[in-house]
A and B are shown apart, each in its own frame.
Chain A
């Protein structure tokens, strides 16, 4: 039994590629109209709840301002991103990775436990006892799998005018098309935030060991 299953490893690296391309091309799309609104409509700075800064070219795909090219990348990578997440969810439920490693027990939500977990994290002590992941890890992975990543897909569908005749209820549920666009942006940055913390913690926990295990699978007792 390996530390990371093959399905987890394949998905992890595919998803990394998708998220990076989607995020960087998304920044170009954001540059095309740098204002975010709530509700169905909005087109002027005065109506915006947020004026987004212009993202510099080096952060964007294709590296210069081209909404057309950015949309091509965005539209392409949406497919492996969405299908990959769907397959990963099916795999996680089938092989019990979700139930065993990510789903939390009621006990773990007790303030004392949460506090201990936070303190151990702050002390940079990652040597947690039994179980693969501690509470904060489960919470982070649960949020990413259950909320952040799926919300990108749902809000993305809600922004597409061609999908709306069928998914109008989804647009309404998200509060209108411009709200869906705002949520698309917010969750993109939530994922970016997770990415930064995740990479930081991998660095602190021993990057070579961690990255090697996510490629080869590692050994289960090595945690």
Chain B
């Protein structure tokens, strides 16, 4: 018992030391610098168009778990869902030459891409599903991305703990061939749990990047003035913006 007490005291002291370091300016910048070292290493080792692995149909998980918002109660979402999302619009806006406002029908009529990929949650679990939708690059090209645009922000209909969900990627991931605006999972319209009627697939990053309940795709030059400036709902709460780690 005494040994255990000693170990716990030692552990607590060590943790307190770590937390002290994390609170200092240099400690803080070191911790966030590590994320960019990983991103740099990943980008160095992996071609910008290199694909995430795809699986055969037989590998699809029997059920696709939902996380975060799984049934948004805010705004008009429930009414829209009751109406089969007939009134849903996806806006393409921000630093583009000609902003778009697309219905689900518009989106279904675009050239489609179907991919069976693995979804990895930051918590540690994985599920495999088949996703269908147009490539994001198609929408960006149709709207005409301006030169100043550096990031693509994804706006979402769900409000989690009082704040609107949002996410962002750089142009490498925005133009990645597997980055699609999915409206189908396993050959059927997206379930509400998984982001109906539209969600992003950012296949080389963790699950929180794959914004659900997508309402707008916004081209911006900087992430500073959006949300709390972190580039996403979870990033504003301390998670890494580059979620390929």
Contacts and interface: CB of A to CB of B under 8 A. Distances in A.
Given A43-B127, A162-B244, A66 B238 contact: yes
Given A42-B126, A163-B46, A58 B30 contact: no
A58 B244 contact: no
Given A60-B15, A61-B15, A71-B239, A43 B126 contact: yes
Contact of A162 (B16, B121, B204): B204
Nearest to A178: B126
B35 interface: yes
Interface stretch (A73-81, A86-94, A101-109, A130-138): A73-81
A79 B34 CA distance: 8
A41 B128 contact: yes
A62 B19 contact: yes
A42 B47 CA distance: 28
B222 interface: no
B178 to A, nearest CB: 10
A40 B126 contact: yes
B12 interface: yes
Interface in A16-45: 20-21, 24, 29-30, 32-33, 35, 37, 40-44
A213 interface: no
Interface string B111-128: 000000010111111111
B221 interface: no
A160 interface: yes
A165 B46 contact: yes
B34 A72 contact: yes
Contact of A75 (B15, B34, B203): B34
Nearest to B124: A33
B169 to A, nearest CB: 12
B59 A68 contact: no
A63 interface: yes
Contacts of A207: none
B171 interface: no
B31 A73 contact: yes
A59 B10 CA distance: 10
Interface in B215-239: 234, 237-239
16 contacts: A40-B59, A43-B125, A60-B15, A62-B18, A68-B239, A69-B22, A71-B239, A72-B22, A72-B238, A75-B245, A163-B42, A165-B51, A165-B204, A177-B118, A177-B120, A177-B126
7 A-B pairs with the lowest CB-CB distances in the bound complex, closest first: A162-B244, A68-B238, A165-B50, A33-B124, A43-B125, A76-B34, A63-B15
Interface of B: 8, 11-12, 14-16, 18-19, 22, 30-32, 34-35, 37-39, 42, 45-47, 50-53, 55, 59, 61, 63, 65, 118, 120-128, 203-206, 234, 237-240, 242-245
